[in-house]
Amino acid sequence: MNILDKITLDKRKEVALRKQLIPVSQLEQSVLFNRPTVSLANNLKNSTSGIIAEHKRRSPSKAVINNNLNVQDVASGYESAGVCGMSVLTDGKYFGGALDDLLTARASCNLPLLRKEFIIDEYQILEAKAYGADVILLIAGILSRNEIKQFSQFAKSLNLDVLLEVHDEQELHKALMPSLDMLGVNNRNLKTFNVSLETSKQLSQLIPNDFVKVSESGISSTSAIKELQPYGYKGFLIGENFMKTDNPGASATAFINTLNA
């Protein structure tokens, strides 16, 4: 059983419990539920940097990255840096995140927020909307084609952008459909944790231009972005690189300044 299978198994139990605790009607009554969303896809299309900066305390591959920062400072720092959007990890067991992190980030900035989560149920999409997200992540590796279709269409009905993450050609072919806004290529092999930008390069030509292309994982230098831009990538998800510093906002500012110099 690889780490993705393990996380998914735990997630099914967790979501079943959450559904018992908080009914759908309560999520729909949230003060943020009818908030107009901001499109990350549009931001990326019109950006020179394309940075999606992440709030991430730890990960299965790296253990603790940074437990000392508060979400408010990170979110406002990223906004000042001029990033296109912010990714907020809400998985508790493996990444040390929480839905409350999303709420805090929403109160602290006007950036499009991506709920970074292992979505296996429509209920989590309602949660994302109720807690102030603008974008959801769907992971092709843990979903069937029908689930991807069902979840992405449901997200669109709530005016949420959809970023679909793939790891290989097989997942990409399974997943292409009009209800997606962005296609993310994860350069990290979740079975081995090896990272290679070649994954993004190889898959780029198979992604139709109707989708905004996003490269994820292993992007720690401006040169990596310059290497990927000719392949049509408009978005670059950066997590650990900023989070492992004492001031992710300042780190993102310096990074973007270097990139645009």
Whether 54 is catalytic is yes
Whether 6 is catalytic is no
> How many other C-beta atoms lie within 10 A of the C-beta of residue 64?
11
> Per the residue annotation, which of 79, 127, 171, 216 is the catalytic one?
216
Q: What dihedral do alpha carbons 93, 187, 134, 160 form, nearest 10°? A: -110
- Find the helix packing angle between 3-21 and 122-130, rounded to 10°: 70
> Per the residue annotation, which of 11, 54, 187, 251 is the catalytic one?
54
> Per the residue annotation, which of 59, 66, 186, 251 is the catalytic one?
186
> What DSSP state is assigned to residue 53?
E
Among 174, 246, 244, 188, residue whose Cα is nearest residue 216: 188
User: Checking DSSP bridges between strand 182-186 and strand 135-139, what pairing results, if any?
Assistant: unpaired
Please identify which residue in the block is written with the tokens 């807690």.
131
Among 48, 38, 12, residue whose Cα is nearest residue 257: 48
E strand or H helix that includes residue 234: strand 233-238
Whether 56 is catalytic is yes
> Per the residue annotation, which of 11, 43, 56, 59 is the catalytic one?
56
Whether 240 is catalytic is no
Query: How many Å apart are CA 116 and CA 216, to the nearest integer?
Result: 12
> Per the residue annotation, which of 152, 217, 241, 251 is the catalytic one?
217
Query: How many Å apart are CA 65 and CA 48, to the nearest integer?
Result: 28
Whether 198 is catalytic is no
E strand residue ranges, the chain: 51-55, 58-59, 63-64, 85-89, 113-116, 135-139, 161-166, 182-186, 212-216, 233-238
Among 101, 90, 167, residue whose Cα is nearest residue 125: 90
> Per the residue annotation, which of 11, 116, 213, 234 is the catalytic one?
116
What amino acid positions are annotated as catalytic residues? 54, 56, 116, 165, 186, 216-217
